[in-house]
Amino acid sequence: MTDISQGSAAKRPGSLLLQDARTVKRNRAESRFKIYGILAIAVGLLMLVTLVYNIVSRGTGAFTQTFITLEVTLAEDKLDKNGNRNLDEIKKVSTFGYAPLIKDAIGKEVEKLGIQTDLSAKDQAAILSKSAAAQLRDYVIANPDKIGETVQFRFLANSRVDGYMKGRVSRESIANDKSISPAQLDFVDQLVADGVIVKSFNLDFIFGADASDQRPEAAGIGVSMIGSLFMMLVVLALALPIGVAASIYLEEFAPKNWITDIIEVNISNLAAVPSIVFGILGLAVFINYMHLPMSAPLVGGLVLTLMTLPTIIISTRASLKAVPPSIRDAALGVGASKMQSVFHHVLPLAAPGILTGTIIGLAQALGETAPLLLIGMVGFIASNAPDSVASGLLSPNSAMPAQIYEWAKRADPAFYERAWGGIIILLIFLVTMNTVAVILRRRFERRW
């Protein structure tokens, strides 16, 4: 026996451990295939990393801003010629009337620090933001008693100076730029050395209002954040009750017939309708037909509600379905009506799942842009927080993603930085909402 087996083994063209050409080929194909899979995942993750890296590296700049600290003498002869502190007369001085004060202030600062420069006073003052005079005027109108005194101000620097401080603008890149010259950058360098120009955290970007094309340094996302908040309130107030009610009916009460079938097919199709179609619906129904005001958070909220409803209904139905029938049977068994068994027992048990689905739906709605463009949620709102909050649901407002889109459309690279910064804020909101949803699910989900 052993002889035979040894003999047949000897007849084999090679050892069992030696691979023939075909096996080698097949094994190579095998490892190639595996590598393709790894590569695909690597490509996907690489894209994610690139995206996140891009957002963070380009957007963090928006959170710091270059400020110039100056001591401005609020000259009485320029601001209040009659000296009677009459607010109406003070208000008659336009921002042009304040520009000389700033020029004087920067001239004095240069003198004090002993900086040598060939720049004219006008060019020196040009490193400040165009909003500086308005800032000064607002201060004087708010504190008329300070006229005649010398007050320290922190002005925004011009966006080019800000870009220079952040490394976005260099002496080479401004060769064709009329708004700033290399000499001004030298001047900036000197002021930086003396500590007059500093870069610090920019709270106004997070809480401020949008600014005009000329002043990217003053633009903030705060007002559109409030617009988004209003819309989310509308979505929450409408989509959650309607979505839960619809799911309860479909899951617990609906008879199996063709009407229910149509509703179900409808819901799953609505979930896949492109978002821009909801924008067209909003424009045609809410604005053209019902004459609701354009750019109003109420209209935006209504459109987003219709868009979010399918998401909420689908997740609510899933969590209602996850509640075991024994709960319903037990409730019915002790004499509860069908309605009582659902509202007193099934719904509370499904609540964590419903909440999770709602938060995810809201997060989706928060990032949606296309339908908002159609109903004009890109209102340019320059008023700051207290006014814009009070204006409520029916007055024009913007929304975070729409504001980001507006910034991306403006040609100035300083606005691109704002757009990336806005995305960081938007993503912080989305990540927080999704994390809360995941935590809620982990914490309260019951396995039956």
Partner 1 sequence: MPTLWLVVSVLVLAATGYVLGRHRALQSAGGDIRTLHSLPIYYGLNVAFAALVPALGVLIIWLLAQPMIIESSVSGMIPGDAIPEDSTLGLVMSDVRRVASGLDIAVAQGAMTLEESNSLHAEGTDIRARLGEVGVALGSEVRAEVLQAAQRYRQMTTTGAHAMTVVVALLAVAGLAVAYARTHKDFRARNVVERGILVLLILAASLAILTTIGIVFSMLFETMNFFGLHSWKDFFFGGTWAPNFRGDSELSILPLLWGTLFISFIALLVAVPVGLFAAIYLAEYANNATRSFAKPLLEILAGIPTIVYGLFALLTIGPMLVDFFGKGGLLGVEWMAGATSVLTAGVVMGIMLIPFVSSLSDDIINAVPQAMRDGSLGLGATKSETVRQVVLPAALPGIVGAVLLAASRAIGETMIVVMGAGAIAKFSLNPLESMTTITTRIVSQLTGDTDFASPETLVAFALGLTLFVLTLGLNILALYIVRKYREQYE
Site for partner 1 in 204-233 (CB under 8 A): none
Query: Of 284, 61, 101, 380, which is closest to residue 93 (Cα–Cα)?
Result: 101
Handedness of CA 334, 340, 342, 343 (dihedral sign): negative
61, 217 Cβ separation under 8 angstroms: no
* Single residue of 277, 318, 332, 436 touching partner 1 by CB under 8 A: 277
CB of 321 to partner 1, least distance (A): 16
3-state SS class at 155: strand
At closest approach, how far in Å is the CB of 358 from partner 1? Answer: 15
CA–CA distance from 107 to each of 125, 156, 197, 386 (Å)? Answer: 9, 17, 15, 36
Q: Which of residues 17-46 bind partner 1 (CB under 8 A)?
A: 26-27, 29-30, 32-34, 36-41, 43-45
Among 67, 153, 205, 420, binds partner 1 (CB under 8 A): 420
Q: Report in angstroms how near the CB of residue 284 gets to partner 1 at its nearest.
A: 4
Give 289 or 448: the residue with its C-beta nearer to partner 1: 289
Picking from 308, 349, 248, 317, the residue whose alpha carbon sits closest to that of residue 433 is: 308
Residues 147-206 that bind partner 1 (CB under 8 A): none
> Identity (one letter) of the amino acid at 184?
Q
Size of the site for partner 1 (CB under 8 A): 87
Helices (H), 344-412: 347-366, 370-374, 385-390, 400-409
Stretch that binds partner 1, among 67-75, 130-138, 344-352, 416-424 (CB under 8 A): 416-424
Torsion of CA 243, 246, 250, 253, to 10 degrees: 130
Q: Is 448 among the residues that bind partner 1 (CB under 8 A)? A: no
The distance of closest approach from Cβ of residue 378 to partner 1 in the complex, given in angstroms and rounded to an integer, is 8
Cα–Cα distance, 358 to 238 (Å, whole number)? 11
Q: Which stretch binds partner 1 (CB under 8 A): 63-71, 88-96, 320-328, 368-376?
A: 368-376
Among 18, 113, 237, 262, binds partner 1 (CB under 8 A): 262
User: Which residue, 12 or 122, has its beta carbon nearer to partner 1?
Assistant: 12
Tell me which residues in 71-130 interact with partner 1 (CB under 8 A).
none
Could you say which residues in the range 328-357 bind partner 1, by CB under 8 A?
Answer: 337-339
Dihedral sign, Cα of residue 29, residue 30, residue 35, residue 36: positive
**Candidate list 222, 357, 401, 421; residue touching partner 1; CB under 8 A:** 401
Looking at residue 84, the DSSP 8-state letter turns out to be S
d(CA 294, CA 376): 6
Among 94, 150, 253, 444, binds partner 1 (CB under 8 A): 253
What backbone torsions phi and psi does residue 152 show, to the nearest 5 degrees? -90, 130
Q: How far is the CB of 425 from partner 1 (least distance, A)?
A: 12
Nearer to partner 1, 170 or 266 (CB): 266
